[in-house]
């Protein structure tokens, strides 16, 4: 975690106009600067840079934020990488990070060091040990070159109960080796290696540090694959194999290809298709999807032909839609996985398949039409119901409209009927697996948005807000989240550009903050705007409370609970009294 003071120093030394003008020509427009947006095609400039607030916002595509946000989006970097780039540019030294829990940090560092040493041990065994000849032969038969083995630091675990343990015990305690998942304790005392007589695939984090391992047998023994257990360092659902080696290509191509296994990924990289990561044969998790989202919004799934057709797998892929990513799928020829397809047809053919990947809409529709007869009414209804569930997860309204129109034409059903069913699906209660915060984006209420902009305008408005507002007065989920952080901040007034750093990994928050600040800049009478918006927000909150009380009163009446009815009626009376006062103030 980089100290706030260092982030502020970098921002103070980085003028946003100068930074962005290095990427595109800016023209003066009043107190701001404008240009055609670099993030979407347009003829009329809607991309504005505010030198006073040190933020940018595009009124076309909604992109916005501060200097770090711009670099993240323009250079396809994560937050820390953007900070490091701008720190170097500004001549600011980033101090070594100090953990808030030194003991935990020291443990993590030891585990990582042990994993790194184990990776070196396994790789050295593969390249130097006589015993590893069968492992070298295995990789040779799979077509893996020595340079590729070195790039992925492939290794070999000797056919010995404790070769790794004996190699590391002089430098690491037994506790560290066991917690790292490298060794297992015996019931009778002592330890033995977890990985034995297997080829080894080190699993790295996004920065290239070794966290865990996967091992494959060289014969027919079981289990075929063995993975490191969950540790303080490693959580399987948070990482993707090969992301470290793939991230440069992912950024350059603005797309990521997801495969299932180690060898699928390695052979793709060796063939020159380097924007590939692997899910390690498990269902994708929200954490993995968000990891991808930090680097690109375009995803291509390249699974085995048999696996990708499973409806359960498709439901997992809908996570991408919920996070606002675009996902496509490649169906390989039956009987092929990426590795065998490359060997049979070559890299050129694979690249062509990726280029012609089907959208999730096309792919799922094809599967459903193979299952049900789209010529019958019953088949049409079943297909439409399945597809509507998919549409409900699409955040991009334009994409949703296009898919609805296409499905209407495909099935001969009216768009109105499909849209009505989509609205019903949207209105269903959120499941535990998908909290309300991840629901499709809704329009930001204007009054709430302007209030937020004024709270970040100057200290005067922030203090007025603290006297009159609570975060729960904001109906919109994202605005409420941002308002809560602003109101709870005890360090005094913070500028919009600095406050965006609080949401360093949340592009949507940066977009909302920049939009609110950009729109409030046009307000002529800001104090009056504040008062008008405050009354609207309070009135809306009271209306929601009244609706809630009326529902509770009805339920109490049906239950015959007179005491509860009395209390609720009193609360309703007090609420109506407060609302009347608000209306009277508005008339004056």
Q: pLDDT tens, 230-253? A: 888 888 888 999 999 999 999 899
Comparison of pLDDT for 446 and 304, the residue scoring more: 446
Residue 1 has pLDDT above 70, yes or no: no
Residue 492's pLDDT band, with cuts at 50, 70 and 90, is: low
Mean pLDDT of the chain: 85
pLDDT band, very low/low/confident/very high, at 390 (cuts 50, 70, 90): confident
pLDDT of residue 588: 54
Backbone angles phi, psi at 256, to 5 degrees: -125, 140
Most confident of 290-304, 351-365, 430-444: 351-365
Across the range 44-61, mean pLDDT stands at 92
Q: What is the mean pLDDT of residues 95-104?
A: 59
Q: Where are the alpha helices (DSSP H) in 129-230?
A: 133-141, 146-151, 163-168, 174-179
Rounded-to-integer distance, Cα 194 and Cα 114, Å:
14
Q: What is the mean pLDDT of residues 546-569?
A: 76
Mean pLDDT of 299-324: 70
Rounded to whole angstroms, how far apart are CA atoms 355 and 358? 9
Neighbours of 114 (CB within 10 A): 23
From the list 237, 162, 238, the residue with the least C-alpha distance to 195 is 162
Q: How much of the chain, in percent, has pLDDT values that exceed 90? A: 37
Q: Is the pLDDT of residue 418 over 90?
A: no
Element (H, E) at 20: helix 16-21
pTM (two decimals) = 0.59
Indicate whether 300 pLDDT > 50: yes
The residue whose two tokens read 């900070």 is: 83
- Structural domains of the chain ordered from first start: 4-90 (3.90.580.10), 102-234 (3.90.980.10), 238-354 (3.40.1360.10), 364-438 (no CATH), 446-587 (1.10.860.10)
pLDDT surpassing 60 at residue 92: yes
**Cα(278)–Cα(288) distance, rounded to whole angstroms?**
10
- Please compute the mean of the pLDDT values over residues 96-103 and round it to a whole number: 56
Dihedral over Cα of 339, 344, 345, 346: its sign: positive
The highest-confidence range among 49-58, 550-559, 564-573, by mean pLDDT, is 49-58
Asked whether residue 583 carries a pLDDT value surpassing 60, the answer given is: no
């Amino acid at each position: 975690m980089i100290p706030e003071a260092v982030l502020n120093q970098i921002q103070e030394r980085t003028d946003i106009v100068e930074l962005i003008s290095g990427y595109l020509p800016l023209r003066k427009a009043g107190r701001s600067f404008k240009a055609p947006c670099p993030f979407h095609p347009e003829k009329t400039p809607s991309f504005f840079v505010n030198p006073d607030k040190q933020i940018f916002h595009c009124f076309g595509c909604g992109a916005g934020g501060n200097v770090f946000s711009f670099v993240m989006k323009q250079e396809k970097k994560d937050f820390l990488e953007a900070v490091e780039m701008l720190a170097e540019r500004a001549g600011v030294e980033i101090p070594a990070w100090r953990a808030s829990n030194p003991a935990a940090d020291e443990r993590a560092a030891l585990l990582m060091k042990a994993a790194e040493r184990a990776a070196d041990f396994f790789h050295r065994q593969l390249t130097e040990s006589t015993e590893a000849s069968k492992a070298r032969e295995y990789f040779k038969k799979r077509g893996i070159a020595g340079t590729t083995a070195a790039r992925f630091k492939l290794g070999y675990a000797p056919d010995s109960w404790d070769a790794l343990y004996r190699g590391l015990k002089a430098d690491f305690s037994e506790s560290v080796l066991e917690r790292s998942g490298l060794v297992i304790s015996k019931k009778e005392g002592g330890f033995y290696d977890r990985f034995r007589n297997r080829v080894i695939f080190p699993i790295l984090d996004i920065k290239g540090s070794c966290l865990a391992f996967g091992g494959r047998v060289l014969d027919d023994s079981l289990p075929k694959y063995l993975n490191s257990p969950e540790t303080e360092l490693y959580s399987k659902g948070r990482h993707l194999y090969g992301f470290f080696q793939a991230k440069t290509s992912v950024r350059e191509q603005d797309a990521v290809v997801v495969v299932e296994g180690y060898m699928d990924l390695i052979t793709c990289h060796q063939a020159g298709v380097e924007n590939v990561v692997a899910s390690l044969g498990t269902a994708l998790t929200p954490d993995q999807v968000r990891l991808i989202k930090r680097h690109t919004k375009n995803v291509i799934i390249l699974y085995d032909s048999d696996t990708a057709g499973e409806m359960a797998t498709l439901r997992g892929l809908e996570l991408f839609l919920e996070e606002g990513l675009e996902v496509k799928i490649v169906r390989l020829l039956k009987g092929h996985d990426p590795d065998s397809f490359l060997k049979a047809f070559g890299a050129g053919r694979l690249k062509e398949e990726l280029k012609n990947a089907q959208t999730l809409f096309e792919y799922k529709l094809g599967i459903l039409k193979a299952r049900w007869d789209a010529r019958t009414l019953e088949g049409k209804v079943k297909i439409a119901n399945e597809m509507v569930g998919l549409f409900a997860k699409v955040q991009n309204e334009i994409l949703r409209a296009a898919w609805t129109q296409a499905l209407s034409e495909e099935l001969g059903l009216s768009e109105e009927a499909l849209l009505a069913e989509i609205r019903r699906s949207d209105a269903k209660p959120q499941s535990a697996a998908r909290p309300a915060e991840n629901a499709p984006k809704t329009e930001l209420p204007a009054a709430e948005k302007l209030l937020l902009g004024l709270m970040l305008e100057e200290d005067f408005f922030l203090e007025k807000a603290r006297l009159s507002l609570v975060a729960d007065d904001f109906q919109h989920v994202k605005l409420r989240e941002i308002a809560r952080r602003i109101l709870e901040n005890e360090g005094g007034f913070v500028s919009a550009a600095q406050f965006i750093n609080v949401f360093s990994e949340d592009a949507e928050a940066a977009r909302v903050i920049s939009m609110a600040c950009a729109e409030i800049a046009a307000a002529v009478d800001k104090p009056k705007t504040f008062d008008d918006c405050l009354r609207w927000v309070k009135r809306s909150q009271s209306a929601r409370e009244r609706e809630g009380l009326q529902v509770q009163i009805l339920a109490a009446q049906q239950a015959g609970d007179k005491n509860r009815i009395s209390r609720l009626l009193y609360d309703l009376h007090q609420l109506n009294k407060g609302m009347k006062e608000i209306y009277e103030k508005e008339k004056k």
